[in-house]
Structure 1
């Protein structure tokens, strides 16, 4: 099933603070989050470099999620804990293969 993926790339020497900051904003708040799944990753080859991968049903649902007050608040507070700019990669899913033999393309 096609969808949309947003990859948030950042560097930080304060990752524990970012992790603590992010946990409640993912599920709490006045409106329900719109993501399918969020995966937080650390770049093994570049310590202090991180990627958050958020999967959505569509670009529109991603933008709706970005408009949540909880998301906006988290993004501002997270940026203050980063060692440089936060980079967003907005990607339309063309196809996927989950490795279960039922490739989706």
Structure 2
């Protein structure tokens, strides 16, 4: 079970504490068991600082605390604080990755039903789309939805999510796509052919939890070859 430790302290020497944390990261490289560390400052009381440290388990946290580097850094941190820091030990009972869930929902909405209106709850109005198949980037949700409609009018399709990685404000999704060519697509009349391709999409999320930017990479050439619009490459 994931374990989180909250270290609550008061200090007016945050920059010194920040440098101390850099030292700890460097000196425990390859030995520490902490997987994620966040240092946050109270907006209403700038001397109030909370450090949040995540570990795979309580046992791994105890291993980390026994490192001589951790003990030394902690003693130096106490010297920077006004009083002794307090510790809160927490077993994580729910860890919701909201951005990853929104990215999953995006692909579900795109591939199912006739209504794209749920996209307004997932994508910001000023969304910026990077697709190497387009001569220019698509900017704005309305323009992006028209671009998506081009695919939806041309194919009856579905996505299979192969991998999804979320870090900070980015979510990377590796997907497989399968479709039946049921309508006009970029001037190619419906062929009824079953086609497939693979790709990767990286979304950047804004402060409101909506998608503000996207980067797409996919086998557009392979798709056009399957549709008969491009001659197969000799091997």
Fold shared by both chains (TM-score > 0.5)? yes
More strand by share: 2
Describe how 1:1-105 pairs up with structure 2 within 5 A: 2-29=1-28, 32-99=31-98, 100-101=100-101
Structure 1 position 21, deviation (Å): 1.7
**Structure 2 gaps, min length 5:** 105-235
Counterpart of 2:96 in 1: which secondary structure? coil
Q: Which moved more, 1:11-20 or 1:68-77?
A: 11-20
CA distance in 1, matches of 2:79, 2:88: 20
**Structure 1 gaps, min length 5:** none
Structure 1 position 85, deviation (Å): 1.6
TM-score (norm 2): 0.41
Structure 1 position 22, deviation (Å): 1.8
CA distance in 2, matches of 1:57, 1:37: 10
* CA distance 1:24–1:56, shift in 2 (3 Å): same
2:131 corresponds to: none
Runs of 4+ in 1 over 6 A off after TM superposition: none
Larger radius of gyration: 2
TM-score (norm 1): 0.88
CA distance in 2, matches of 1:62, 1:72: 13
CA distance in 1, matches of 2:95, 2:13: 33
CA distance in 1, matches of 2:21, 2:89: 20
CA distance in 1, matches of 2:34, 2:18: 18
Structure 1 position 66, deviation (Å): 0.5
Structure 1 position 93, deviation (Å): 0.5
Structure 1 position 44, deviation (Å): 0.7
- How many aligned residue pairs are there? 101
CA distance in 1, matches of 2:83, 2:44: 18
Q: Contact 1:31–1:68 at 8 Å: present in 2 too?
A: no
Counterpart of 1:46 in 2: which secondary structure? coil
